[in-house]
A and B are shown apart, each in its own frame.
Chain A
Amino acid sequence: MKLGELKSAGHLPTLIAAFLYFDFSFMVWTMLGPLATEIASSLAKHGYILDANQKATLLAVPILGGAILRIVLGFLVDNIGPKKTAIIAQSIVIASLFYTFFRGENITYYELLAVAFGLGFAGASFAVALPQAGQWYPPRLQGLVLGLAGAGNIGVVIDYIFAPKIAEIWGWPAVFLVGGILSTIILLTYILLAKDAPPSVYQPRKKKLSDYLKLLRDKDTWWFSLFYAVSFGGFVGFANYMKVYLMDVYKDEMAQIGLQLLHEPNVQVVAGYFGALCIFAGAMLRPVGGAIADKIGGVKSLYIFFGGVAVLATLNALLVSNFYLAIFILFLIMSFLGMANGAVFQLVPQRFGKDMGIMTGIVGCAGGLGGTVLVKTLGWSKAAFDSYSVGFFIFAALAALALVGLTMVKTRWRTTWGVHAGGKI
């Protein structure tokens, strides 16, 4: 590892602050997922019963917010600097968290939607923290900086493990209190430690709208957006919806397992553990996917990952009713999606070189939109057919479309790489 180099080059306090800010933000961003069922039953107690569509909307709004806001924050970073942007975004997040805590169980569905959008600012922290840390470091260390940040995906696993238990003991609003207090501490740390890179270290090159348009004329941009919409959209979509899905389909099995094997009478907590297990696979295997792509080629490895996802999602829709098998398949789906995330981001920096900054924005936004669509599709499938099969089919079809895209990209890439482009690593 080159961790030693990170100390000597760049600005370590900023890196630490950005890392904490980003990784913790990911946790806050996906906080509604493991609490969705608790919140739904608490709303029901006050006479407001959520249907599957509404549940899905509540879970989709933070993802959608994160997708759109990252472009907005990206522009802010260019104009007022990363530090100010981060403070503004983080303040909105903290306000949303405390608001929810103080409203507690009396909160209405529409207030919750507004809070969900506020959490979207946490999801957009990609666009702030990564460039901020990256600006301090020379190009050869960028990969490592990105990798440290990628570890943020683990945040959602932590949510799944702890949130249901906290909700059981102190009630679900307490999770928002904990989140709010921790977020405030992180913000204070950030204000103390983080520093925008001075002009002598980094000359900002403002992203112009025309830069985005120029990239959108490139076919590869669209394909890569689709790839990430499937892989990251799949990962973050399932991660948010996992609890609702498991509680809807396998509540009885999980309750039984909870009592017999885990000595855990609260099925909500058990669902959280199983959700964490599947999501954990996706989060941890991301770098493995990158390494595989390096070795056997990004396109080839994505064939395997997307092919695997398409087959497994179809299997899940058609055949599976056994709980253990279902968990195993979900575990595999999440693993493949996580590795696909890594593989897509093995290709993007090399393919887009100096446009990398803008491309991360576009592709990341597509990922968020993909997640939004997935969650809404699953909710719609449940509401319309009282089954998730159609939703899984549609997801399998999207993965298959990504396979078509891979074939197009592969054919186009089977050409000469110019002396100029050079494919330099």
Chain B
Amino acid sequence: MNSLYKTAAFGLAKGSELQSDDAYGVRLFDDILVGVVCDGVGSAEAGREAAQRTLKYMLDNFKTRPQSWDIEKSLSTFIKNINEILYKESLLEFERPEMLTTLSIVVLQGSRLYGANVGDSPIFLLRDNKLQKLSIDHTTEEHGHILTQAIGMSEKVEPYFFENFVKTGDHILLCSDGLTAVLSEEEIAQKLPLGASNLIKYASKKVDDNLPDDTSAVTIQIKQIDQRVRLKQQNLPIPQSLSKGQVIDGYRLDRPLIQNERTWLATNKGKKYVLKFPPKEAAEDSQLLDLFVQEAWNAKRLKAGFFPKAVIPKNRTLRYYVMEYIEGDTLEKKISKHPLHIDQAVDLAKFLLRSSQYLLGFNLVHGDIKPQNIIITKRRDKEIFKLVDFGSIVEIFSIASRAGTPSYLAPERFVGEPISEGSEIFAIGVTLYQALTGHYPYGEIEPFQKPTFKKPKPVSHYNKKVPLWLESVIMRAIERDKNRRYKHYSEMLYELENPKKVKPYFDPSASLIEREPLKVYKTAFIVSAVLNFILILMLLG
């Protein structure tokens, strides 16, 4: 493949600074080449972070993009997602958009060039010594040079998309506006064939190594056109009815695992598998189909011991994906008889937090953590947990609806706040509470209810064996006020790993004597001593 493109990426920070707010990269994945430049704006730290995360997000996602999505769809979806993530995270953290960055991206597939830009980092095409700007700057000059669009600036982003054919010998340049500030288009056209590094160094030399702005570039030279553009046949049918004994691509359906009969236990060559099909309605509803495609894609790419292994069979004749069958009961079934042992509950907590941390690495959240979705299975005589159901996994902050299971939704999700680490921690807390007590902390909540969250009974009310420190951790996870709850998985995990450092939990309405008995008694002692002293003085006087 490397015989197809020659790529380079290079950047310098402005003036004599060491760190640049730009992020850039170019990567080859299977049949596509992706080049990205992001120029962080906003206050320094947040801008730099935004640029780096946007770059990573785009590269990671193109690496594992759902095969049935075309490039346009992938581009628009990924841009929309990262914009939402950064925008909502900034609002939570800074209460205003701070994590801002421009984004310029090109994706090459065969002879086709797909591109998009948000902000003012330009994209150029050099053909037959003529330089053409492919991107459009989202700026206004009314009150100085101001960006009208940036990733993370507002809830919705409107990228500029373009498409072109490329030819052998074409050069593509993506750069931050630092470069165009220093070099004229003629100079760029002249130096572009030498590659990103030469181009940037030439610019730096021109201003005596004192660049006015962070300056970076990605260059791509088309050496040869990929002739093997595969147009994959992805119009797979969605089965409208499934029945026991039916054989699909060698998998024999044995029995449905969930009431809706779209998840089946199946056998293939004597081995058990789980087959998941999209809902029937997906045949007419493209939104539902998209969700299923995304689910299958998540199942396939999330390869970690926390989840069942999943594959999308290469030559499937229907739309479905396959998961390994995990022998064992759900946690729900297990705790319907006995609560978990303390050690096991602590293991469960750590397991859930680590799975969630793993997902967060992909900017994802599980969205439906509950005992029903946790399977207890044996590996070499040791009981371990698996987290199942890829169907609710979504990008963090991406939904503000009440999707999920009502009894496990954090209070803020009932009033339209987006799904977050905090709301996942709440679900983990409720799961642990149930695992140890057999009760819901806030009662069972119905789908169309506006629940009131009353003060929950402490875990030890139902299960005397639970140590105070663990109770405190759980109570802090199911805290109604998200500001008093753990905000990050890492905080909760740290406390689980260091029981001695856990401070006792008190409900915000607890009285002072409940919260700090020592302080109260000390104060009472001092007050009474002083009073006595005064009394003695008065008696003497």
Contacts and interface: CB of A to CB of B under 8 A. Distances in A.
Nearest to A299: B446
Nearest to A419: B403
B402 A295 contact: no
Nearest to B285: A420
Given A422-B402, A423-B401, A423-B402, A295 B450 contact: yes
A294 B403 contact: no
B305 interface: no
Contacts of B288: 420
Given A347-B448, A413-B446, A419 B259 contact: no
A279 to B, nearest CB: 28
Contacts of A413: 446-447
Interface centre among A293, A294, A419, A423 (most CB of B within 10 A): A419
Nearest to B394: A419
Interface in A311-359: 346-347, 350-351
Interface in A274-332: 293-300
A83 to B, nearest CB: 34
Contact of A416 (B287, B368, B445): B368
B131 interface: no
Interface in B231-282: 259
A170 interface: no
A205 interface: no
A422 B406 CA distance: 11
A26 B444 CA distance: 38
B403 A418 contact: yes
Given A418-B391, A419-B401, A350 B291 contact: no
A417 B406 contact: yes
A357 B447 CA distance: 21
Contacts of A424: 401-402
A236 B515 CA distance: 57
A115 to B, nearest CB: 41
Contacts of B402: 417, 422-425
A417 B447 contact: yes
A347 B406 CA distance: 15
A414 B370 CA distance: 12
B392 interface: yes
Contact of A297 (B287, B389, B401, B448): B448
Contacts of B389: 416
A299 B287 CA distance: 29
Interface in B344-359: none
A298 B406 CA distance: 13
Q: Which of B367, B399, B444, B448 is most buried by chain A, counting CB atoms within 10 A of its CB? A: B448
Interface in A378-424: 410, 412-424
Contact of A420 (B291, B405, B446, B448): B291
Contacts of B291: 418-420
A422 B389 CA distance: 17
Contacts of B449: 293-298, 300
A347 B404 CA distance: 18
B315 interface: no
B253 to A, nearest CB: 21
Contacts of A415: 259, 405
Nearest to B367: A419
A254 B392 CA distance: 62
Measured as residues with beta carbon below 8 angstroms from the partner, the interface class of chain B is 20 to 34
B452 interface: yes
Nearest to A296: B449
Contacts of A299: 446
A293 B401 CA distance: 20
- Listed residue (B367, B445, B446) with the most chain A CB atoms within 10 angstroms of its CB: B446
A365 B424 CA distance: 43
Interface in B442-485: 444-452
Contact of A419 (B392, B444, B450, B451): B392
Contacts of A423: 401-403, 406, 447-448
Q: Which of B367, B368, B401, B447 has the most CB of A within 10 A?
A: B447
Contacts of A294: 449-450
Q: Which of B389, B403, B451 gathers the greatest number of chain A CB atoms within 10 Å?
A: B403
A195 to B, nearest CB: 34
A294 B448 CA distance: 7
A297 B449 CA distance: 5
A416 B446 contact: no
B508 to A, nearest CB: 23
Nearest to B393: A419
A335 to B, nearest CB: 22
A376 B43 CA distance: 76
A419 B399 contact: yes
A422 B446 contact: no
A348 to B, nearest CB: 10
A343 to B, nearest CB: 10
A347 B451 CA distance: 14
Contacts of B394: 419
A300 B368 CA distance: 23
Residue among B399, B401, B405 with the highest chain A CB neighbour number at 10 A: B401
A85 B330 CA distance: 56
Contacts of A414: 405, 444
B401 A422 contact: yes
B145 to A, nearest CB: 40
Contacts of B450: 294-295, 425
Nearest to B403: A419
Contacts of A416: 368, 389, 391-392, 403-405
A421 B446 contact: no
Interface in B419-453: 444-452
Interface string B41-79: 000000000000000000000000000000000000000
Nearest to A424: B401
A351 B448 contact: yes
A408 to B, nearest CB: 11
A413 B291 CA distance: 21
A95 B450 CA distance: 47
- Give me the 3 closest cross-chain CB pairs, A-B, nearest first: A297-B446, A422-B401, A297-B449
Interface of A: 293-300, 346-347, 350-351, 410, 412-425
13 contacts: A297-B449, A297-B451, A298-B449, A300-B446, A413-B446, A416-B404, A416-B405, A417-B405, A417-B406, A419-B291, A422-B403, A423-B401, A423-B402
Given A347-B448, A417-B403, A420-B291, 4 more contacts: A351-B448, A420-B287, A422-B399, A425-B402
